[in-house]
Amino acid sequence: MTEKSTLKEIEERFDKDVSRFSNLDTGQQTTLDALFNMELITDGIAAVYPDLKQVLDIGCGAGNYPVKLAHQVSNFDCTLVDLSQPMLDKAYERLQGLTSGKVEIIKGDFRTVALKENSYDVIIATAVLHHLRDDQDWEQAFEKLYRLLKKGGSLWIFDLVIQDHEAIQHLIYHQHYGAYLTNLKDESYRDHVFNYIEHEDTPRSLTYQLNLLKTVGFNFVDVLHKKLNFASFVAFK
């Protein structure tokens, strides 16, 4: 396996990329259907929790998801967690005027920062879980997210996924996603994205994650959307 980036290296890359992650009109363009999934997840949260009170966004970036959510539900408290201080500062700046609730920022890794258990109606985890490493890391992270939720709370995920079959993975990732990245800019950009994914990320398949969510205790899970190597899904406690 290629030696993976450290948390510090990941933090430093995101520190330099705040403006790209602050665009509500496009979302993150290297992800497929980014804007559609943002709307789908925030619409879903608003539909399930019309009286939403407590939201936790792990790996919040510049805050697109809670900002989008605040256009529909405007009185929730929100805890924002991220490795990057510039991202947190931007997320706080954008969100604090949109909700009448409290906005708190916490710099650090969601796996290790102190968060109160049984406290959140909703946890948002978008483009963050692919940074997890081995199976033990995945299991411990999902167990922690389960413990943080209130009974009836839910975890909303949108992320990069892989296919378990090698030939299908090659077709979907290297051919189709590669073509998508090339069309965004050019082949050198495709190679740049592939390179930092190889060095930073250790994604798992959608099936792996759905099964693990049930294993750690979630009552049921549901797939919202999947296109090639990106998927959005939800799990209820």
- How many residues can be counted in the chain? 237
Surface-to-core class of residue 122, CB atoms within 10 Å of its CB (0-12 exposed, 13-18 middle, 19+ buried):
buried
Mean pLDDT over 133-159 rounds to 97
Q: What is the pLDDT of residue 156?
A: 98
> Is the sign of the CA dihedral 170, 171, 177, 179 positive or negative?
positive
Q: What structural domains and CATH numbers belong to the chain? A: 7-162+204-236 (3.40.50.150)
Mean pLDDT over 81-89 rounds to 94
Give the pLDDT confidence of 6-53 residue by residue, as tens digits: 766 665 555 455 555 555 555 577 899 999 999 999 999 999 999 999
Mean pLDDT over 95-104 rounds to 94
Give the pLDDT confidence of 166-207 residue by residue, as tens digits: 999 999 999 999 999 999 999 999 999 999 899 889 999 999
Give the pLDDT confidence of 209-223 residue by residue, as tens digits: 999 999 999 999 999
0.85 surpassed by pTM: yes
Q: What is the pLDDT of residue 1?
A: 45
Q: What is the pLDDT of residue 80?
A: 98
